[in-house]
Structure 1
Amino acid sequence: MTKFLATTALVAVLSLPVYAAQPAEGEKLAEDQSLSFWILDAIKTLDPQLTESRTDSDMIRQLFEGLMTQDDTGAMVPGMAESHDISDDKLTYTFHLRDAKWSNGDPVTAGDFVYAWRRAADPETASEYAWFVELMNLENATAVVKGEASPEELGVTAIDDKTLEVKLSKPTPYFLKTLDHATTYPAPQKVIEEHGQQWTQPGNLVGNGAYVLKSHDLGVKATAVKNDQYYDAENTIIDEVNFITVNDQNIALTRYQAGEIDWFNLIPAGQYPKLKEEFPDEAISVPWACSYGYVFNLSEKGPEALKDLRVRQALSYAIDRDIIVDKVLQGGQKPAYYWTHWAMEGFEEPEIEMANWTQPERMEKARELLTEAGYGPDNPLKLKLMYNTSEDHKKIAIAVQQFWKAIGVELTLENYEWKVFVDKGNNQDFEVQRYAWCADYNEASTFLDWFRTDGDNNGMWSNEEYDQLLADAATEENPAENYKKMEQLLIGDMALAPVYHYAQPNMIKPDLRGVPLDNVMGDWYAKNLYRVAE
């Protein structure tokens, strides 16, 4: 495993090898080195500073590259930066960029990162991920994001074309882990200014990643081909990557079995055990750093009933998580009684009271709480639950509808396509929302930051003690205790009803090598994959 240099400013800078596809001795490469990867929803944007979607990010990762990337275990390794230095006070990071080019032949410079990071933080960009720049603790980030300071005051400077200086507002142990997130990728200012919103269209898009966009039929297929300008193109084996959009997972499975899809990473609920038995070398389930739950709208737009803690507790208690993971999903998922995924690096499980009860005990408490809150046969609680198009989401929502019916709740299910679903969530135009969060980096704060008062949580929950614990955790050498307390506050006030922690039940063609199954983040790079001759 390649280690990324972390030193004081007094230590000499070293150049480190890049992480690339590494066929095993004796393996013969297949003639066809294309890859077809399934995605559930249409790609919303390929703009690194505007995306907020896991689906988008999987494609963007092929087209752009940040200061750092990951190896197949999720460890941080060199990307655009060959190395870096850290000042003794841990507030200044100096990155030394490798010789690299954009796909149009222009050199990648430190200024491209400065432009991108300022662009992400600038309120005029209206990035849904502007908060990520704050989470990185860049100097002046909050003031810039709020429009109280100019983007030029953000703590990032190009010392010269090959040297990027980053200043933090406080020591941040997880900072380096944020540098493979799309928000931090460089952006080609000249191209953006020339094409405006159309800059990410095929023929216009200029990237610095291993691939360049060839075509994009929205909601059907996007194709990227090998970028010959990429600094490690000679070690890039996969020469074409296709992202195939199929909204129905059952149809996607059929297309996988027909050979139209090579990697399908979300087997339909309930089908994994049978597929594992039939195709033991292709059906593989691994932990995946995402958590699934139901967010309660606590904003002024939300229903009055949900302002009552007893109601939120009752709704959460009534969800039989064991049935959902063991009977509905059956893909290696685990019941969730807290928000952070259990497999995050350094995370310690919090003590959550309801996790120790039996389901009959939870149901009894749920009925008692609803009665105390004034609901019953003569005054039933009526709610609407919003989810995005997916057979799995639908199955889980129907199960929850039955769980809640058992305690006297009349639940109406509302299904929306992805873009509408996202917009409604961002605008608090819902009552209860199906939500999942996938980690942006391998540390618990990526989950917990979503519920920060001025963070991005759609339900608009707020707690000052929680905010302070999160702020303090950023400088703790071991913030695990803070995270435990935050989870207890989050669940104590039932800001959401956690349902399950993800696993990723995959179907992977047996000739495809290099899929990073040991990376709990689920991040992957086609440049590290290859196909062998059968």
Structure 2
Amino acid sequence: MKFRTTLASSALALGLAFQAQAADVPEGVNLAEDQNYTFWLLDAIKSMDPQINTDVEGSDVLRNLFEGLYNEDGNGELVPGVALDHEVSEDGKTYTFNLRKDAKWSNGEPVTANDFVYSWRRLADPATASEYAWYMELMQVENAPEIIAGDTSPEELGIRAVDDHTLEVKITTPLPYFPQMLVHGSTFPVLQSAVEEHGDDWTDAGTLVGNGAYKLVEHQLGERVVMERNDSYWDADNVVMETITALTINDVNQALTRYLAGELDRVDIPAGQYPRLKKEYPEQAVSTPYNCSYIYMLNVGEKGPEALKNVNVRKALAYAIDRDIIVERILQGGQKPSYNWTHWAIADFERPELDWADNMDQAQRVEKAKELLAEAGYGPDNPLDLTLQYNTSEDHKKIAIAASQMLKQIGVNLTLDNYEWKVHTDRMQNQDYDMARYAWCGDYNEASTYLDLLTSYSGHNNGEFYNDAYDKLMKDSKTAEDPQPLYQEAEKILAEEMPIIPIYHYANVDMIAEDIEGLPENNVNNTWYGKDLYRTAE
């Protein structure tokens, strides 16, 4: 049952409190003696700090080490985390969360409302330098913009502890999807005493204190993360999986080989291999919609190349890329070609009609691309030289090579640059690139999770696209009775200005061991928790 700001909390609390909180093992299922789960990571995790992490892979780990106010079930519906339920004021601007009294940190201390107050203030505080500080602003938490700008003290943030187990949050605008935003890792609590005692080392294995179902016992950067069941977790008795291990393997083909050798329980399927693997391993190869969009971000800011400041050049680049070839010949895993930013499976979203997507075929797009590039002074006789940067992955490399061949046909020479994840993202954040492979996975199932990213106040607008009309649409959407028309107008601006090149909308294309149960099957966010997993006996 979803939380709605118009619902009374008492009935809602009952609806949530009796749902399964950890592994829900059906009667008659035999569990394996080995309750260990090993999954694949493409890149090293940049930070184990909930307020600092920005990566999807980091979130998968942090979701097991920490727990926020709410979690998601296998269908993407909210279920209790530290919060059992909440009440909402009549004006929709004050949320009062009732916290469970049995929540504990892994050192045995109780989790209290003050832990959330400290952590949310820490997120908004400019001293923390979090790329996700803007999330407090997106959540409309009172005084967040002023705090982030450095104009107001973090103590003025609209959050307070009424008592140890009652948390009050004030927001400036009613947001129907506000509770859904609380599953994001940046809102997870951290223990103030641990942060202050150990400084930057507080996230090290053996030092990190979390409140999740698991505790960190080993972290070899770029190699492995090992988590063991946390006996202090409030629902530890129902956690079946004893150990969760993440292995970092930069080569997806090598990762697949290790999966087939039994070293991994879950791995992404490399581009182009899903049809074969589905035929050979029908119970293990799966493809489901996934709330992520793959793009090439264009650096249109001051540090970007002069050519990309010309909208005709940006449109030409976008028009010349044949998404059907990328999806149908390279990926072959159920992904969909994209001509816009917001993922097609986002709740309530419908893409507006876009001329280049709906009224042209690919041959016409290529011809238009040549015309636009010629108007900008470029073409086969005077090629445009650009660099395309991507992070280490054979799949990203294949797509980049295909894109470079497509763009060469209209008079663009692409130099391909490959960097490991941390360097890649650092370069993007410093605007040290021309074009860069980028993907955004929604923080929640609502279109604003995509569209807010390209506002001028976003913490992730690494292409420095600034548009007043776009900003106004997204700000107005927060108070609109129905924001969907505004989202469509925002998408139209992106199509007209083309600060990003949409490539495709993701699908989850995985190999999953047949004896692993409890992974979400109908959650477009693919939000999973180790506490929900179990391994069956053969």
Count of residues in correspondence between the two structures: 532
Alignment correspondent of 1:458: 462
Shift of 1:123: 0.2
Asked if the contact 2:5/2:92 (under 8 Å) is kept, the reply is: no
Corresponding residue to 1:51 among 39, 50, 53 = 53
Alignment correspondent of 1:283: 285
CA distance in 1, matches of 2:216, 2:535: 21
Q: 1:396-475 to 2 correspondence within 5 Å?
A: 396-455=399-458, 456-475=460-479
Letter in 2 for 1:51: N
- Aligned partner of residue 325 in structure 1, secondary structure: helix
- Aligned partner of residue 180 in structure 1, secondary structure: coil
Alignment correspondent of 1:188: 191
Q: What are the superposed Cα offsets for residues 95-138 of structure 1, whole Å, 9 maximum, x if unpaired? A: 01002100000000000000000000000000011011110000
Alignment correspondent of 2:136: 133
Asked if the contact 1:223/1:242 (under 8 Å) is kept, the reply is: yes
Shift of 1:271: 0.4
Q: TM-score scaled by structure 1?
A: 0.98
Letter in 2 for 1:84: H
Determine if the alignment matches structure 1 residue 500 to structure 2 residue 500. no
Alignment correspondent of 2:536: 532
- Aligned partner of residue 90 in structure 2, secondary structure: coil
Q: What are the superposed Cα offsets for residues 187-211 of structure 1, whole Å, 9 maximum, x if unpaired? A: 1000110100000101100000000
Q: 1:256-335 to 2 correspondence within 5 Å?
A: 256-264=259-267, 266-335=268-337
Asked if the contact 1:8/1:88 (under 8 Å) is kept, the reply is: no
Q: Which moved more, 1:5-14 or 1:434-443?
A: 5-14
- Quickly say closer, same or farther: Cα 1:10–1:47, change in 2 above 3 A: closer
CA distance in 2, matches of 1:57, 1:525: 11
Asked if the contact 1:5/1:14 (under 8 Å) is kept, the reply is: no
Q: 1:154-233 to 2 correspondence within 5 Å?
A: 154-233=157-236
Q: Which moved more, 1:476-485 or 1:309-318?
A: 476-485
Q: What are the superposed Cα offsets for residues 151-195 of structure 1, whole Å, 9 maximum, x if unpaired? A: 000000001100000000111121111101011001100011010
- Quickly say closer, same or farther: Cα 1:517–1:12, change in 2 above 3 A: closer
Corresponding residue to 2:523 among 519, 523, 530 = 519
Shift of 1:478: 2.4
Q: Which moved more, 1:345-354 or 1:419-428?
A: 345-354
Alignment correspondent of 1:147: 150
CA distance in 1, matches of 2:525, 2:40: 17
Shift of 1:3: 5.3
Identity of aligned residues (%): 56
CA distance in 1, matches of 2:289, 2:60: 18
Q: What are the superposed Cα offsets for residues 468-492 of structure 1, whole Å, 9 maximum, x if unpaired? A: 1111111233211111110010111
Asked if the contact 1:6/1:84 (under 8 Å) is kept, the reply is: no
CA distance in 1, matches of 2:10, 2:194: 37
CA distance in 2, matches of 1:42, 1:13: 40
- Aligned partner of residue 483 in structure 1, secondary structure: helix
The two structures, once aligned, show a CA RMSD in angstroms of 1.3
CA distance in 1, matches of 2:285, 2:479: 41
Q: Which moved more, 1:455-464 or 1:504-513?
A: 455-464
- Aligned partner of residue 182 in structure 2, secondary structure: helix
CA distance in 1, matches of 2:305, 2:12: 57
Q: What are the superposed Cα offsets for residues 428-475 of structure 1, whole Å, 9 maximum, x if unpaired? A: 000011110000011010000110012121111111111111111112
Gaps of 5+ in 1: none
Letter in 1 for 2:335: Q
Asked if the contact 1:40/1:245 (under 8 Å) is kept, the reply is: yes
Determine if the alignment matches structure 1 residue 339 to structure 2 residue 341. yes
Asked if the contact 2:3/2:12 (under 8 Å) is kept, the reply is: no
Shift of 1:242: 0.2
Letter in 2 for 1:251: Q
- Quickly say closer, same or farther: Cα 1:471–1:45, change in 2 above 3 A: same
Determine if the alignment matches structure 1 residue 362 to structure 2 residue 365. yes
Q: What are the superposed Cα offsets for residues 324-375 of structure 1, whole Å, 9 maximum, x if unpaired? A: 0000000100000000000011111211111121111011001111111111
Asked if the contact 2:338/2:504 (under 8 Å) is kept, the reply is: yes
Asked if the contact 2:4/2:176 (under 8 Å) is kept, the reply is: no
Letter in 2 for 1:483: Y
Asked if the contact 1:4/1:78 (under 8 Å) is kept, the reply is: no
Asked if the contact 1:288/1:504 (under 8 Å) is kept, the reply is: yes
Q: 1:84-163 to 2 correspondence within 5 Å?
A: 84-99=86-101, 100-163=103-166
Shift of 1:6: 5.5
